[in-house]
């Protein structure tokens, strides 16, 4: 395959052929009294031994409620200690954890619970503007009068009950602090017996993808999928038990629970949650207070931290590494991350929920340009190829669709064989929908989503290229480029621009800057100054929403 866009990752580190529960137990035995979990907004600090005890108690309690291997258990909560305890407790009994997006409202929650067939839901009391209890009371009017574990709802026939993390929830909810009572019905030996029967390639997690069209699809992931992906992503960072990782990304997403939690537990590193949701100052404070060595986030998070007015008040010198994912990083932002946050070994990771998630990653010693123009090389034990519209592998340097294959590819979409067959072909290649090219060294550059490419008067325009250019303007803090309909050219370029604080840059100035340096057809026809972008809870920009807003505002 020399000269063609195909690579295979290194095979020197063997994959972990074990369940998440067994891997967790091994780490606990090795690092007993070291810090395992620090949750600053809850004032929680647990050693590996203490975390293990809480996980064991929770696992036995869930069994005491009648939850069995293969049952689905939903968690609808922002980042907190209980989320992580549930993650490992369900893994120990083989219950399939269903990650519910904290931003979901009633109809979205109902869809996820019904489609996955959840038997129990563990919920927070509220988050931001959402009152979870009120939403559930409206969705489940029978809950207040139902006997524990005997809920009957026509729309959600599999759901048996709801556990609340609140101290005093409304009638019908089982309070978290009372859950422990059910652990008395199951002995430690019974839990061990259940755990011993589990197989590492069984499903253990369902994550709903936030697709831009149609209903969300539940990516079904095994122990093998996510345990190994977290392990290998952390190997690239060189994590050990001496590392302390600040995890501000949401746990309900792969970035938090796989690259964050599972990356830490496979190496004995400390998991640190600064806040329930992303708060830039809480992240800076967590790094300084806990002497963190690694910080995770998407580019928008790092930009918010770098632009925070109190950045200079925190000692961040303990940092050395971290992962930036969710989007490629503008070069100016990367320079600032390395200089101002001291993250000289920061790495870019690329992937998708359906691939557990990481399939590409840069290395600690990659030169700066590689860390901003590429998403790395193929991850260990995986294969990558770039294909044309006919499914043929293209030569190096030619743009096509990126596909990935290997241990990390999901088992499929839960109860959705048609969507599964559309995403994974007969050769078990996952089709990402991303446009990419591969250079002679095997580094991959993401050009954009196939649907994000702008075609203006027959010219193919890649938004990433214009975004990178606009980042070189001193006034621009962040920028996103989308295509909008145009009667003459088919599409025109629209820019959403976030300016640095106190900047007085105007539309005419930016457009003149573009005209002086890039081809005329790439110059944005429309420029909109904004304070924020529409995005998912995980920090991914929703360009389809930006298009919708522009079409409506401009009557296109």
C-alpha span between 141 and 173 (Å, rounded): 12
C-alpha 75/C-alpha 205 separation (Å) is 11
The pLDDT of residue 299 is 85
Question: What pLDDT, in 10s, does the model give residues 79-121?
Answer: 999 999 999 999 999 999 999 989 888 888 999 999 999 999 9
Pick from 287, 297, 245: nearest CA to 267: 245
Sheet architecture: strand order including 476-486 = 476-486, 490-499, 526-529
Give the residues across from 435 on adjacent strands.
401, 448
**Would you give the distance in Å from CA 110 to the centre of its chain?**
22
User: Above 60 in pLDDT, residue 185?
Assistant: yes
Residue 482 structural domain: 456-554
Per-residue pLDDT, 212: 38
Distance of CA 245 to the CA centre of its chain: 16
pLDDT band at residue 318 under the 50/70/90 scheme: very high
Residue 221: pLDDT over 60:
yes
* Domain limit, last residue, from 217, 236, 260: 217
Show the tokens assigned to 445.
């550059």
Beta bridge pairs of residue 294: 245, 321
Distance, in Å, from the CA atom of 254 to the CA atom of 233, rounded to the nearest integer, reads 12
93 domain-assigned: yes
| Of 101-110, 181-190, 311-320, the least confident | 101-110
| pLDDT value, residue 327 | 66
CATH assignment at residue 75 = 3.40.50.12780
List of residues 6+ apart from 279 with CB closer than 8 A: 248
Q: What's the angle, vertex CA 82, arms to CA 76 and CA 88, rounded to 5?
A: 95
Last residue of a domain, one of 184, 217, 250: 217
Q: State residue 467 phi and psi, 5-degree precision.
A: -60, -45
User: pLDDT for 358-371, tens place per residue?
Assistant: 999 999 999 988 88
Contact 403, 387 (CB under 8 A): yes
Using CA atoms, how far apart are residues 111 and 322, in angstroms rounded to an integer?
Answer: 35
| Crossing angle between the packed helical segments 20-31 and 81-93, to the nearest 10 degrees | 120
d(CA 510, CA 475): 9
Would the CA dihedral through 27, 29, 31, 35 be positive or negative? positive
Of the candidates 262, 290, 282, 272, the residue with the CA atom closest to the CA atom of residue 80: 272
Average pLDDT value for the chain: 93
Please report the pLDDT score of residue 103 as a whole number: 83
* pLDDT recorded at residue 317: 98
The answer to whether position 446 is within a domain reads no
Residue predicted with more confidence, 44 or 454: 44
Q: Model confidence over 125-169: pLDDT tens digits?
A: 999 989 999 999 999 999 999 999 999 999 999 999 999 999 999
The region of weakest confidence among 205-219, 315-329, 366-380 is: 205-219
CATH number for 521: 3.30.300.30
Placement of tokens 């994959």 in the chain: 15
Radius of gyration of the chain (CA): 24
pLDDT greater than 80 at residue 539: no
Residue 511: the pLDDT is 93
Taking each helix axis from N to C end, the angle separating 331-340 and 299-306, rounded to the nearest 10 degrees, works out to 50
Q: What is the reported pTM?
A: 0.85
Domain annotation covers residue 424: no
Cβ pair 208, 99 in contact under 8 A = yes
Give residue 238's pLDDT.
98
Task: Report how many domains make up the chain.
Answer: 2
The number of helix segments (H) and strand segments (E) in the chain equals 18, 29
Is the pLDDT reported for residue 538 higher than 60? no
Q: What is the pLDDT of residue 441?
A: 96
Condensed to tens digits (0 to 9), the pLDDT of residues 279-298 reads 999 999 999 999 999 999 98
Tokens of 478: 């962040």
Q: Which of 163, 198, 217 is the last residue of a domain?
A: 217
- Residue 158 lies inside a defined structural domain of this protein: yes
- Residue 293: φ, ψ to 5°: -105, -15
Instruction: Work out the average pLDDT over 14-38.
Output: 98
Query: What are the angstrom distances between the C-alpha of 208 and each of 239, 290, 405, 408, 550?
Result: 29, 33, 21, 17, 28
For the stretch 398-453, pLDDT in tens is 999 999 999 999 999 999 999 999 999 999 999 998 889 999 999 999 887 666 77
Q: Which of 381, 409, 377, 424 is nearest to 396 (CA)?
A: 377
State what percent of residues in the chain have pLDDT above 70.
96
* 211 — pLDDT class (breaks 50, 70, 90): very low
3-class DSSP assignment, residue 143: helix
């Amino acid at each position: 395959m020399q000269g063609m866009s195909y690579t295979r990752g290194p095979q020197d580190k063997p994959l972990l052929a074990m369940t998440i529960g067994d891997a967790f137990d091994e780490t606990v035995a090795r690092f007993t009294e070291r810090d395992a979990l620090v949750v600053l907004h809850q004032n929680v600090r647990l050693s590996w031994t203490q975390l293990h005890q809480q996980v064991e108690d929770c696992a036995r309690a869930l069994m005491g409620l009648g939850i069995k291997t293969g049952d689905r258990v939903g968690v609808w909560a922002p980042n907190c200690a209980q989320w992580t305890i549930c993650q490992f407790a369900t893994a120990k009994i083989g219950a399939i954890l269903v990650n519910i997006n904290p931003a979901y409202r009633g109809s979205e929650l109902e869809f996820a619970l019904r489609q996955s067939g959840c038997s129990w839901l563990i919920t927070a009391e509220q988050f931001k503007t959402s009152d979870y209890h009120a939403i559930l009371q409206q969705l489940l009017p029978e809950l207040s009068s139902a006997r524990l574990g005997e809920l009957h709802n026509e729309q959600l026939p599999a759901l048996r009950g709801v556990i609340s993390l609140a101290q005093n929830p409304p009638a019908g909810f089982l309070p978290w602090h009372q859950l422990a009572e059910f652990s008395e019905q199951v002995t430690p030996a019974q839990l061990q017996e259940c755990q011993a029967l589990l197989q590492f390639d069984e499903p253990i997690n369902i994550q709903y993808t936030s697709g831009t069209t149609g209903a969300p699809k539940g990516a079904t992931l095994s122990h093998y999928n996510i345990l190994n992906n977290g392990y290998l992503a952390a190997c690239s960072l060189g994590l050990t038990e001496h590392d302390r990782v600040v995890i501000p990304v949401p746990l309900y997403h792969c970035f938090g629970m796989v690259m964050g939690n599972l990356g830490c537990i496979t190496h004995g590193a400390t998991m640190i949650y600064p806040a329930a949701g992303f708060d830039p100052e809480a992240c800076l404070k967590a790094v300084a207070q806990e002497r963190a060595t690694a910080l995770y986030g998407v580019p928008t998070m790092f930009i918010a931290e770098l632009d925070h007015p109190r950045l200079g008040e925190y000692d961040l010198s303990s940092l050395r590494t971290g992962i930036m994912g969710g989007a490629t990083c503008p070069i100016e932002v990367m320079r600032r991350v390395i200089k101002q946050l001291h993250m000289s070994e920061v790495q870019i990771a690329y992937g998708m929920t359906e691939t557990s998630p990481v399939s590409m990653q840069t290395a600690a010693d990659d030169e700066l340009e590689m860390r901003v123009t590429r998403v790395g090389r193929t991850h260990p034990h995986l294969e990558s190829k770039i294909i044309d519209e006919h499914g043929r592998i293209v030569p190096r340097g030619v743009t096509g669709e990126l596909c990935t294959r290997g241990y990390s590819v999901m088992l499929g979409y839960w109860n959705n064989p048609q969507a599964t067959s559309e995403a994974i072909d007969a050769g078990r290649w996952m089709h990402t929908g991303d446009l990419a090219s591969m250079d002679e060294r095997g580094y991959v550059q993401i050009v954009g989503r196939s649907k994000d490419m702008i075609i203006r008067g027959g010219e193919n325009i890649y938004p990433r290229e214009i975004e990178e250019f606009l980042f070189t303007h001193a006034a621009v803090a962040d920028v996103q480029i989308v295509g909008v309909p145009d009667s003459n050219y088919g599409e025109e370029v629209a820019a959403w621009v976030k300016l640095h604080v106190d900047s007085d840059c105007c539309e005419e100035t930016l457009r003149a800057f573009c005209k002086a340096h890039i081809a005329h057809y790439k110059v944005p026809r429309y420029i909109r100054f904004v304070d924020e972008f529409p995005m998912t809870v995980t920090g991914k920009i929703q360009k389809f929403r930006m298009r919708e807003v522009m079409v409506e505002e401009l009557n296109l």
